[in-house]
Amino acid sequence: MSAILISPLDDPYNDIGATVVFAPSILHAAAEFTDELAFFEFSHRPEWDKYEATGFTCQAMVEEGWTVPCRFCEQDVNDEYDRDGELRDPTEPVYDKRNAYCSQQCKDAQAAVWHEYAKRKALTSAVAIVLFGPDIDITYASGSSRSGWCKCKQEPHLSGMVEFRFPGSKGKVNGCPHCRQFGVTRRDLAAWKTWRKLPQAD
């Protein structure tokens, strides 16, 4: 397999928006972009063929001189200066499977963010089950985003939304279990009222 660099034609020298795929040839790589061929440039980069087994990871990108933002602070991990133009203390980039970080400190800080997010996500699901019972089928839960029904925007520690199906539903209910604001599709309204033992409209 060959490393094929796919670059936007409007800025072929900028790695932002570019990607690397591994394919038998440029023609094979271009076959995936038949509707967008006019917008991209394809070139074989033999010096990157060595990454076929591991993929062109964030670490490979950094080592090959690409601009890669830190997953936590979003600054280029190789920048010598911070956003204020001050010389940064030298750090060694660190990586996980999908991301690059300026330093272990940034990686630890991002891990803390994800841990807090996971806690809020679990809390959001747990509160929904307490409110509606174990019969609901939760299809999505978030520890950060909000639904359009949410009224607790001034309580960031309660941020979270949930989507679920209930017995007899065709669509999904979505909303915030913390302020108890939910939206039910019109086609599911009768089934919702039956399930929740609410009076039906005449």
No. of H helices and E strands in the chain?
A: 4, 9
* pLDDT score, position 155: 65
CB 167 within 8 A of CB 132: no
**Residues 51 and 121 reside in one and the same domain:** no
Instruction: Compute φ and ψ for 87, nearest 5 degrees.
Output: -65, 125
Q: How many CB atoms lie within 10 A of CB 162?
A: 27
Q: Is residue 1 part of a domain?
A: yes
Domain finish residue from 56, 81, 102: 56
Q: Can you give the residue range of the structural domain that contains 27?
A: 1-56
Say yes or no to pLDDT of 194 above 80. yes
Per-residue model confidence (pLDDT) at position 78 = 79
Residue 98, domain member (yes or no): no
- Residue 61: inside a domain: no
Residue 201 lies in a domain: no
| 92 assigned to some structural domain | no
Going edge to edge, which strands form the sheet with 2-8?
19-23, 2-8, 40-44
Q: Which residue has the higher pLDDT, 188 or 158?
A: 188
**Above 70 in pLDDT, residue 98?**
yes
pLDDT reading at 172 higher than 80? yes
- Within-domain flag for 158: yes
Tens of pLDDT, residues 65-97: 888 889 998 888 877 766 677 777 777 889 987
pLDDT digits (tens, 9 = 90+) for 53-72: 888 888 888 888 888 889 99
- Are 101 and 110 contacting, i.e. CB atoms less than 8 angstroms apart? yes
Kindly state whether residue 90 falls inside one of the protein's structural domains.
Answer: no
> What residue spans of 20-147 are helical by DSSP H?
26-30, 58-63, 104-132
Provide the mean pLDDT of the chain. Answer: 84
Burial profile 54-65: b = 16 or more Cβ within 10 angstroms, e = fewer: eebbbbbbbeee
Domain tally for the chain?
Answer: 2
154 located within any domain: yes
User: Mapping DSSP to helix (H, G, I), strand (E, B) and coil, where does residue 131 land?
Assistant: helix
Q: Single out the residue in 14, 38, 56 at which a domain terminates.
A: 56
Q: Within this chain, do residues 188 and 119 fall inside the same structural domain, yes or no? A: yes
133-151 pLDDT, tens per residue? 999 999 999 877 666 667 7
Given this model, what pLDDT does residue 16 score? 59
